[in-house]
Amino acid sequence: MPGRILPDDLLRRWTREGKTDREMLDLLEQHLNITVTRQAISAWRKRRGMEMNSQPPQAMPWRLRPEHRAAEPARAIRLYARRKRGEKLDPEDEARLRRAEDHLTEVGGVFHYDPDTPEGWFVVARRQGVDTGIFREPRAWRK
């Protein structure tokens, strides 16, 4: 069965406006009665040579290596960014984020990313007044 044809011009405009994949999926369904998956939007981006990031630039403060993108800290940071933007998380995602936050609170840490290591992700000590979320603020340590 052939795939649906996505409205290319509309998706390009929404991408320029900074809409997330989730927002585009919702708009397609609400206004055009087109139901597709996030993978369809991702494939659309890939075919056009576009950045594969489905989050606004502020969601992930680092450019992740492919082997580190699906790690639990990366997932938690994306969920945290979605919640911070006011998006409603489904119960499974909310529980996943809560577990990560509970762990970080328990150890007094935040997530830190180092692309030059095989592991990529680490939990490091939270700096009071600097690291206010769940990840080490990369702009602060470069100063």
Cα 102 from Cα 130, distance rounded (Å): 19
Rg, the chain, Cα only: 17
Q: Give yes or no: residues 33 and 63 share one domain.
A: no
Q: 3 in a domain, yes or no?
A: no
- Give 109's strand partners: 125
Note the pLDDT tens digit of each residue in 28-71. Answer: 888 888 888 888 888 888 888 776 554 554 578 888 888 888 89
Q: Which residues constitute the domain of residue 137?
A: 57-141
> Whole-model pTM?
0.61
Q: Give yes or no: residues 35 and 84 share one domain.
A: no
Check whether 3 has a pLDDT greater than 70. no
Counting Cα atoms < 13 Å in the Cβ hemisphere of 47 gives 10
The counts of H helices and E strands in the chain are 6, 2
Q: Yes or no: say if 58 and 71 are a contact pair by the CB < 8 Å rule.
A: no
